[in-house]
């Protein structure tokens, strides 16, 4: 038995011993993506409130990086074609199961990309994103949808795509957002109500 399978059994035994946690962990494992959406919106709001163009570039990139990471993950998962533990193992607690390939985990890729994207926007918000990502990774193993290696690889892939992609796309995105700032869409990029006060402070 591999170390990864042994760790899975340890977590699954924990799931067997904690039936009261099943609805909580299952709910987060399946619908926790909503929390990551809220965190991305919070990152955009902070960037808009601060009126920092560089921070806004990062805030706009964060959801794009997440989507790109998920797209990149699809051919990798198809090529590896790993059978999920809920389909491969017997006599285990299964709270959720899919039939598609399990490595790397889509949920972990998403979580890793969002956490890394938030790190580019706001460090304190990124801490919340990192904790949420780690809990998501654990939850996906807890419900028997993935092995530990699936979620660790997913977190790493998502974070790598988000960070590398940002540094490659940043110059182009900065130019595009600068153009948008000259249009009525400017309201999405900066808090126009706060601009007069900021301008007065700078003039003093």
Whole-number Å distance between alpha carbons of 57 and 40: 13
Q: What is the mean pLDDT of residues 176-196?
A: 72
pLDDT at 203: 40
Average pLDDT of the residues of the chain: 89
Rounded to whole angstroms, the Cα distance separating 53 from 46 reads 12
Domain boundaries of the chain, sorted by first residue: 3-191
Residues 51-95 have pLDDT tens digits of 888 889 999 999 999 999 999 999 999 999 999 999 999 889 999
Q: Are 33 and 158 spatial neighbours (Cβ–Cβ below 8 Å)?
A: no
- Which class would CATH give 3-191? mainly alpha
pTM confidence score: 0.88
């Amino acid at each position: 038995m591999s170390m990864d399978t042994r760790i899975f059994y340890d977590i699954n035994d924990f799931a067997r011993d904690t039936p009261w946690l099943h609805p909580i962990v299952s709910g987060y494992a399946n619908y926790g993506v909503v929390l990551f959406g809220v965190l991305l919106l919070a990152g955009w709001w902070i960037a808009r409130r601060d009126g920092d163009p560089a921070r806004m570039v990062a805030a706009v990139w964060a959801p794009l990086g997440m989507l790109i990471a998920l797209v990149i993950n699809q051919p990798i998962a198809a090529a590896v074609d790993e059978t999920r533990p809920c389909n491969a193992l017997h006599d285990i607690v299964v709270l959720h199961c899919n039939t598609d390939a399990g490595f790397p985990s889509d949920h972990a890729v998403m979580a890793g990309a969002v956490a890394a994207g938030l790190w580019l926007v706001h460090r304190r918000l990124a801490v919340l994103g990192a904790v949420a990502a780690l809990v998501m990774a654990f939850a996906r193993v807890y419900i028997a949808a993935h092995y530990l290696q699936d979620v660790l690889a997913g977190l790493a892939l998502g974070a790598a795509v988000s960070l590398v992609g940002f540094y490659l796309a940043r110059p182009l995105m900065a130019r595009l957002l600068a153009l948008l700032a000259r249009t009525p869409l400017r309201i999405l990029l900066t808090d126009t109500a706060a601009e007069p006060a900021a301008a007065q402070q700078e003039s003093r």
